[in-house]
Structure 1
Amino acid sequence: MSRQLAVLAVFLVVLAGCAAPVTPPTAADPDWEWPDDPPSDRLGWENGYWYNESLDVDQSDGLDADEREALVARTMARVERIRGLEFERPVPVDVVSREQYRQSRQGRSTQGDRNAEYRAWNDQVWEALLLVGEDREASDVLEELYGGSVAGFYSSSRERIVVVSDSETPQIDRATLAHELVHALQDQQFGLGNDARTQDGQLARSGIVEGDARYVEYLYEQRCERGTFDCVPTPESGTSGGASGLSVPGVFVTVYTPYSEGPALVDRLYRRGGWDAVDAVYENSPASTEQLIHPETYPDEAPVDVSVPDRSAGNWSRFDLNPQADTVGEASLYAMLWQNGYVDRASFRQDESDYSAYNYTHPASAGWGGDRVVPYESGQNEYGYVWALEWDTERDARQFVSAYESILVDELGGERVAPRVYRVPEDRPFGDAFRVTHRGSRVTIVNAPSVAELAAVHRRN
């Protein structure tokens, strides 16, 4: 999973200077003219355009080279004006069709990490979350998600933005352009490295990067809607823009966490200490998606380091990979509950924050303290895993166990075959045996192809 989500550090998807402000023209002063270009670069001016100059741009028949250059330059100036940081160098912007984008992703996936050992390990992480069953590969599900939902991305390795247009003629969504330009600005000012080695850690780090970009995007759109900015109309989009229509919608819910929950954390920081406080968080990124979902926990409530002793026997062993384990975190737990019907679908869209797109809180996941998923293999093309979770309280642990066992029985068609042991029929996507134990604030889930093999994957303590 780590290498799958690490793509966000290289391709950041929709998912400093100081100068006196320039007073914009008003309706009462129709002959007002913008000042000449400044003698040197300054905040709110880029490549010949001030942040609030009017543009003669018509996207109905697509953008020619001059129109694109003007639109990009003015948007850069506006991003500077809002964010209070100066671009250090130009940012090239390409526009491609969705079909071209899908083909480029397919080309990269065939050249990328297709190691069978890693794919099997990664599949167990997503299977542990009861999101991607044995009938699918996690990499294929992620490819479906990115291929159909991405509106644009910034490549830090190429220092270039690519906007994906659903129109037959090249058009640029102004919010997407502003969002991706923030990523370019972040890269120039802070760097965009994401060295977190777990699913939860990568999503958390992306939370500040995407949260900052989404927050600026919101402020940009507010200025357009209020008439503070004279804005080029946004073209109609043909993308679904959400989990609907995806074969595994819970994967979208997981991956979208930084975009939904990151802006609320940025807003909290900004209200406390302005952009300086937001800048500072790049040196002290959120440690978990818990800190995105519950911004009041940042930075003091760090996740618990959960260890899982190896108690395997026979042919069963851990994968020969580094790392051998993953941490999935609160957001992924919520996605598991949501996809499997334990969370009311309507509540997902009922977030009280002005800057959160969705609601990622639920009693059965909110008490998360830490977790570790360790995939196992038998050497005979059979796989299993041990998933240990630490909760804030024993009551939180009981709530999760109740939810998890309910999903096994009610959603997956499982049957309780022994105390704390369940069997999901083999013809189901999650057709395996499960042992669920609960001691104090710790929950341990063991998965194996059969009930008899549960002890070989992880013997009882």
Structure 2
Amino acid sequence: MNRRRSVGGLFALLVLGALGCRQRPPPPTAAPIADVAVDAGAPALVAARDATAGAPGGRLMDLAGETAVTMARIRGLSLQHELRRGVMDRDAIVSRLREKTAREYPPGEILLEGELYKRLGLLPEAMDYERTMFDLLEEQVAGFYDPDEQTLYIAGWLPSAAQPGTMAHELTHALQDQHFHIGRYTHHVRGRGDAQTAAMAVIEGDATASMLDFMLAPMGRRTRDMPDVTAMVASQLQGADQMRLREAPRALRESLLFPYLAGLGMCVRALRAGEGYSRVDALLATPPQSTEQVLHEAKLAAREAPVMVPSRVPPALAGEYEVAYHDVMGELGSRLFFYSAMPDARAHSAAQGWGGDHAVLLVPRGTMTSAGDAGVNLAGDALTRDVMLWTVVLDPVEGARGAAADREAVDFAEAAVSVLMWRHGARPAAAVAGAMAARDVGGGRVSLVARSGRRVLVADRVPRASAAAVVRSALAE
């Protein structure tokens, strides 16, 4: 899900603010973090022109300056130029994030993104996706760094105990940006969702590990030396006061947490394998290409590139439909798809053979018009007649031949049928040539799962008359 990326290309500390005051490390058992040289003439932070006035704001900006020096030492990355910073209240920060998102996402883009996820069964049909995202943002945001403005926005309302850890996290983003220009990885690009989520996992995983190092340093501990550190952070987050996050659909909740938790796990592995943060720096310079690489150390080490699957309209629908939205779901998106219908272990097993994919949302021709800046306006009934096609290519089983090489695809397809039955099992069966299973979802439309070799098609609301032809073209090698 694209919302796995930070909203509007910003680096917002969405869910970790609670750790700044909740974290209680065990007694020290490891050597303290080694000192790293910092440039003697490192630029100071300078106050943003729109910073909140007053003594409390001044104290917070002083704290940010002190914390920046400490984080430069922990990360081994000097401040290369001045960084603006300002203190803002919650309403001002949320307003700034909304403005940035509106500038980055063309009109209609978030609506279409949410519709694609609904067709995959990841979100409830009645959910207002954009409103839900901003409700979550308003609840969770605890400050942010804006790479376009090179400015740190400090949350003036946070408890004093939470401020140092929060600043440590966001100042790590500033250091990342000055050395690796991380903003280039995160600006919204349609069809790059999984790759951008993978890049965000490095960015947020590094910032979380660095924040923990900052908090643990006075006790002589290091993030890399803590067993099960990711589980510890996950436990802290579950105990945090995040009602809207807890009540959000699981797919949304998991996608928001993934960069922090899976990214932390990946960065901790890199810390344990190298000297200092050198291997994390290498990941920032060349991020993983997919969430598959984030989840599997061997895939990352091999830099196994995803299979490119085109986003196209099948010939059988080309005269009547056009592409409204498309994205790559990745292994993470595959897990989210399966979670609704099976235990987590089964979902992970079914998704682990992912090799590449593309999910496409089609709307009837003539129902979508340009709204400027590459945005769209939709006719009122466009999303009552849309079609979703998700084509997935699975990896071959290593060393196997013939049908045995397709085992991962068989497993994925069988799990997808379980999801189909969970969603539409009460509806009448439909006979569609080439489909493993199909259900009549009303209005002359069917939802189905089909497989040929290592390709799997999951389709929702396909016109029944065209369904067999859609299956044939989608599964053609």
Q: In structure 1, how many angstroms separate the alpha carbons of the residues matched to 2:425 and 2:284?
A: 45
2:41 counterpart residue number:
41
The count of residues paired between Structure 1 and Structure 2 equals 391
Q: In structure 2, how many angstroms separate the alpha carbons of the residues matched to 1:272 and 1:409?
A: 44
Query: Which of 36, 53, 70 is equivalent to 2:62?
Result: 70
Query: Which of 389, 393, 404 is equivalent to 1:386?
Result: 389
Give the direction of change, closer, same or farther, for the CA distance of 1:311–1:440 in structure 2 (3 Å limit): same
SS at match of 1:151: coil
1:355 counterpart residue number:
none
1:353 counterpart residue number:
none
1:123 counterpart residue number:
114
**Residue 190 in structure 1 maps to residue 180 in structure 2:** yes
Q: In structure 1, how many angstroms separate the alpha carbons of the residues matched to 2:59 and 2:259?
A: 32
**Residue 318 in structure 1 maps to residue 325 in structure 2:** no
Name the amino acid aligned to 2:342. Answer: Y
SS at match of 2:429: strand
Name the amino acid aligned to 1:218. Answer: L
TM-score, with length taken from structure 1: 0.73
Answer yes or no: is the 8 Å Cα contact 2:322–2:363 preserved in 1: yes
The Cα of 1:239 is off from its aligned counterpart by 4.4
**Residue 181 in structure 1 maps to residue 171 in structure 2:** yes
CA offsets 1:169-188 (integer angstroms, 9 cap, x no match): 88853221101000001111
2:461 counterpart residue number:
448
Query: Which of 163, 179, 185 is equivalent to 2:154?
Result: 163
Structure 2: gaps of 5 or more residues: 15-37, 47-53, 223-238, 368-381, 397-405
Name the amino acid aligned to 2:73. Answer: R
Q: In structure 2, how many angstroms separate the alpha carbons of the residues matched to 1:120 and 1:75?
A: 39
2:438 counterpart residue number:
422
CA offsets 1:183-235 (integer angstroms, 9 cap, x no match): 0011111111116651101101112111211111121122245599xxxxxxx
1:298 counterpart residue number:
300
Give the direction of change, closer, same or farther, for the CA distance of 1:409–1:458 in structure 2 (3 Å limit): closer
Give the direction of change, closer, same or farther, for the CA distance of 1:140–1:375 in structure 2 (3 Å limit): same
1:217 counterpart residue number:
211
CA offsets 1:37-83 (integer angstroms, 9 cap, x no match): x99426xx9679xxxxxxxxxxxxx9724422331122112111211
2:350 counterpart residue number:
364
**Residue 85 in structure 1 maps to residue 77 in structure 2:** yes
TM-score, with length taken from structure 2: 0.71
The Cα of 1:400 is off from its aligned counterpart by 2.2
The Cα of 1:337 is off from its aligned counterpart by 2.6
Q: In structure 2, how many angstroms separate the alpha carbons of the residues matched to 1:39 and 1:134?
A: 54
Name the amino acid aligned to 2:333. Answer: S
Answer yes or no: is the 8 Å Cα contact 2:111–2:129 preserved in 1: no
CA offsets 1:14-56 (integer angstroms, 9 cap, x no match): 25xxxxxxxxxxxxxxxxxxxxxx99426xx9679xxxxxxxx
Name the amino acid aligned to 1:185. Answer: L
More helix by share: 2
SS at match of 1:399: helix
* Percent sequence identity over aligned pairs: 24
1:12 counterpart residue number:
11
Give the direction of change, closer, same or farther, for the CA distance of 1:41–1:341 in structure 2 (3 Å limit): farther
Query: Which of 359, 373, 380 is equivalent to 2:359?
Result: 373
Name the amino acid aligned to 1:342. Answer: M
Answer yes or no: is the 8 Å Cα contact 1:148–1:239 preserved in 2: no
Q: In structure 1, how many angstroms separate the alpha carbons of the residues matched to 2:106 and 2:262?
A: 31
Answer yes or no: is the 8 Å Cα contact 2:93–2:153 preserved in 1: no
1:145 counterpart residue number:
136
Query: Which of 432, 435, 442 is equivalent to 2:448?
Result: 435
Q: In structure 2, how many angstroms separate the alpha carbons of the residues matched to 1:123 and 1:69?
A: 38
Give the direction of change, closer, same or farther, for the CA distance of 1:39–1:178 in structure 2 (3 Å limit): closer
Q: In structure 1, how many angstroms separate the alpha carbons of the residues matched to 2:355 and 2:279?
A: 26
The Cα of 1:417 is off from its aligned counterpart by 0.8
Answer yes or no: is the 8 Å Cα contact 1:149–1:239 preserved in 2: no
CA offsets 1:73-131 (integer angstroms, 9 cap, x no match): 22112111211111123433333343443444455556664523x45542343134321
Give the direction of change, closer, same or farther, for the CA distance of 1:39–1:373 in structure 2 (3 Å limit): closer
Answer yes or no: is the 8 Å Cα contact 1:6–1:202 preserved in 2: yes
Answer yes or no: is the 8 Å Cα contact 1:305–1:371 preserved in 2: yes
SS at match of 1:336: helix
Give the direction of change, closer, same or farther, for the CA distance of 1:164–1:343 in structure 2 (3 Å limit): farther
Give the direction of change, closer, same or farther, for the CA distance of 1:173–1:194 in structure 2 (3 Å limit): same
Structure 1: gaps of 5 or more residues: 16-37, 49-61, 229-236, 348-359
Q: In structure 2, how many angstroms separate the alpha carbons of the residues matched to 1:307 and 1:314?
A: 15
**Residue 208 in structure 1 maps to residue 207 in structure 2:** no
Q: In structure 2, how many angstroms separate the alpha carbons of the residues matched to 1:243 and 1:65?
A: 29
2:291 counterpart residue number:
289
The Cα of 1:288 is off from its aligned counterpart by 0.3
